[in-house]
Structure 1
């Protein structure tokens, strides 16, 4: 079974002659314990074309030291990574293989680098004896591996010495600043390489040819493709987080699929719809599958918040227990289904298709036009669609038909907002203001739709309670609150939409 920890560390250049300064003089340090030297032997794995390294992921099998086993490190921010650990075994553990699947696809992972390190370890502790950080001097020998085996011929070697400062679990990151000040005062400087693997690859070559710095977007097609590329990157990068069940990961991945699909639909004059249409259909499928888990998460939070807001005297019967059992039952099934989707061949094929689309983008003649001409036209068309749907919904009497129409307006608002966000790098302030106003419209319509879904759930819970001989009073009370919320959002909509429409008119004039 794999476990995980947040790793916060900094690396520094050193030589064999480098000596650590007196770290007991670092603010907050009461003791420096020298633990001695340990020998570490790690083999790093990747695809032949180094897809993991290209995304700053590292996968290794290490022996020696205090934590032998398989380690997968996923980047979080500069100097911060999540390390997923699995017990030592001869083959890659399935739980780690799943976490790299969106990157490697069907390509095999093979040994690419072997690092053997002599690690001289020092523990820095505070006044209460609690560990603050581990500082080590690592003498590293690196060998580039070829042929898919750690025992095959090695064609390149390199060696270096570095200092590594790693924050203790739950430590204050500011403490590493204090350590760094002491090291800098002693003449030690930060490493130019983010990791040992990155340095080994750079010094033993060849590495995967970097994509390089992309030229500044100039045409309408450049801007749309930059947005498309960003969403595809987000989908791939969020895959491990969704599998791990990290907060908000399903929502963010679902939003990326929707933004990508909206870009295909809005900018159909720039990207050939005969090519993007089938891809959009698959993105719709993926968003729907992700929505099973995400929608239940949103609904659970809404119902719990509503219930927490009631006075205790109005909570009659085992309401919280029933809500908890109902929620767990629904989310357990949805969670399993989400992971099954990510493990399926259909999802893998979609990722391959998205890569192919970027490699050979289906640009139409309008893609060569200046963004100031081509992009606003697409935005105005989305605004007109939204205006029509809102007007139609508000003409209907309150009831299920109006609820459906407002939900359709909500989807149009999302599409218009995403289109404005995609155009923002090209159109600047007008697109930014338009996106902000459209987000407000989407928020009002979204809260209305969430109320519709919540009322359906509350009615079902009330029926279950009544059939079990429990009071249904509280469920009915919550149902009434949701009705009032929906009515308030319907009254609020015209004003919020008027502001968004005004922003669109101003944007049209400025463009």
Structure 2
């Protein structure tokens, strides 16, 4: 679940204003009985969770007392996951969700926060709760129960309403004297300055006007490490990203892009540092790949099955194919769970955090990016355009040959994308054109793999004649797609190789 809220600072003299004008026509504001909430927060000794904007707490009185909150990158918007469990025993599932933050370090109580809460629900005509406004008086307690601090704040949490409602409520609160400040969770305020220190994972910070090659490398590494670790908990939860994409897909893409960047920037990074990292990223990408492949095939099966409404397929046979793929997917996801719980993965996460903090660069990395990077991109570009790439690609070549070109194209595209911040205009145009080329080659590969898969699944059940017929018809549709993509490829490639897109390459 995603929690979205706004916080307001208020003093002891603040009086919560009448909120009835913020409810829609026919709606009302319902005051709830006051409650006292006692939350115990767990963290590492050096507050790795708090510094990263995350938390793990037990709050007495909640139906599901254990809760993890994870940042999304947007202030005030967090993933909230709650589970049952006794005090003092955090559910292993929740501890695993913050693996990328604690990295195996022990978790222990770090602060206790007692909140006296007065809540008001803004409801519509049907009684649906649109937003909740809470006036919290917070006391910070030490291990003996003695008070070490206190503050007051007002929170507005979005429920079934929209962001405009939150803004209307915020306007009423500000008129009454509330101050909109930075979004700081209660436990972070309770823990003080040490909890506001920089997180262990260093994120992208932007580039100067004339960056060095090493600065571009560092920015690229930080971007992909951040992407990979941000999707770790979403993969464990089997959930999608905010944009609807698969978390498994995004985590795998991060592995591949980071491996590609380390390959593109090979002269700029120390081999003894980059090579083991690339090997471990290959391992993780492989673990994620089986689940992603099953995910893609299941989606494709349904789309291909309904592609021709005038020639419907046997729905029962399609369902049996889907169930076979679902079994593959469940097995692959279990493999991911096992990998993410392994010491090997913990070691990789540690290595990634260190890589983002300070990539191991060579002396050549100190040279200007504008002079150095185009030459590095030229190498994968020549491999893509040369005799082993597109120049030697026959329209009737086997699917494997087309797949090899697709992989070369992906490497070239990732290389171009990695240097965009330093090169700009022409590189951006080439990256967009290569993305369209990759769309064609990717669809070609997906169709070719799908055709083989449908036939292989049918061969596993030779007694199921309806399945064999349906798989054959699906395979025919996929081969039609293969031929269509081969026909579309020359035009897409021609656009990508126009001089105005490639003139920046030596």
User: TM-score, normalising length from structure 2?
Assistant: 0.91
Q: 225-234 or 349-358: which moved more? A: 349-358
After the TM superposition, list the runs of 4 or more consecutive aligned residues in structure 1 that deviate by more than 6 angstroms.
none
Q: Once the 2 structures are TM-superposed, how far is the Cα of residue 115 of structure 1 from its aligned partner? A: 0.9
Equivalent residue, structure 2, for 1:195: 185
Structure 2 residue 233 is the aligned partner of structure 1 residue 240: yes
Match of 1:251 in 2: 249
Aligned residues: 493
Is the 1:122–1:135 contact (alpha carbons within 8 Å) kept by the matching residues of 2?
yes
Other structure's SS at 2:115 match: strand
Q: Against the structure 1 CA distance between its residues 506 and 411, is the aligned structure 2 distance closer, same or farther, given a 3 Å change threshold? A: closer
Structure 1: which 5+ residue stretches go unaligned? Answer: none
Closer/same/farther in 2, CA of residues 504 and 192 from structure 1, 3 Å limit: same
Provide Cα deviations, 1:262-290, integer angstroms capped at 9, x if missing partner: 01111111112232112111111111110
CA contact (8 A) 1:193 1:199 kept: no
Q: Deviations over 1:435-491 (max 9, x none)?
A: 111111111111111111101112123334542243633322221121121122122
SS at match of 1:451: helix
Aligned-partner Cα distance in 2 for 1:473–1:49:
62
Once residues 287 and 114 of structure 1 are traced to their aligned partners in structure 2, the CA distance between those partners, rounded to angstroms, is 40
Alignment of 1:49-128 (within 5 A): 49-64=46-61, 66-67=62-63, 69-76=65-72, 77-89=74-86, 90-128=88-126
Go from structure 1 to structure 2 and tell me whether the alpha carbon gap of 1:207 and 1:472 turns closer, same or farther (over 3 Å shift): closer
Partner of 1:18: 14
Residues 113, 139 of structure 2: 8 Å contact kept: yes
Relative to structure 2, which stretch is displaced further, 22-31 or 12-21? 22-31
Matches within 5 A, 1:82-481: 82-89=79-86, 90-143=88-141, 150-151=143-144, 157-168=148-159, 170-202=160-192, 205=194, 208-209=197-198, 216-217=207-208, 218-247=211-240, 248-311=246-309, 314-316=312-314, 318-388=316-386, 389-391=388-390, 393-395=392-394, 397-398=396-397, 402-464=398-460, 466-470=462-466, 472-481=468-477
Task: Please say which of residues 313-322 and 412-421 is displaced more in the overlay.
Answer: 313-322
Secondary structure in structure 2 of the residue aligned to 1:111? strand
In structure 1, the residue matched to 2:35 is 38
Whether 1:482 aligns to 2:478 is: yes
CA distance in 2, matches of 1:212, 1:442: 28
Cα distance in 2 between the residues matched to 1:257 and 1:70 = 31
- Deviation track 1:489-508 (CA, whole Å, cap 9, x = no partner) reads 12222221222122575442
Q: Cα gap change, 1:214/1:494 in structure 2, threshold over 3 Å: closer, same or farther?
A: closer
Cα drift, residue 311 of structure 1: 3.0
Q: Specify every segment of 5 or more residues in structure 2 that has no aligned partner in the other structure, as ranges.
A: 241-245
Contact 1:437 1:503 in 2 (8 A): no
Counterpart Cα distance in 2 of 1:34 and 1:317: 52
Determine if contact 1:447/1:489 at 8 Å carries over to the other structure: yes
Provide the rounded CA distance (Å) in 1 between the counterparts of 2:502 and 2:319: 52
Q: 1:390 to 1:494 in 2, by over 3 A?
A: farther
From the superposition, tell whether residues 124 and 371 of structure 1 become closer, same or farther in structure 2 (CA, over 3 Å).
same
Quick check: 1:434–1:503 contact (8 Å CA) kept in 2? no
SS at match of 2:113: strand
Shift of 1:233: 1.5
Q: Are the counterparts in 1 of residues 204 and 223 from structure 2 also a CA contact under 8 Å?
A: no
RMSD (CA atoms): 2.4
User: Using the alignment, how far apart are the partners of 2:499 and 2:171 within structure 1?
Assistant: 49
- 2:243 maps to none
SS in 1 for 2:105: coil
CA distance in 2, matches of 1:46, 1:482: 51
TM-superposed CA distance for 1:335, in Å, is 1.3
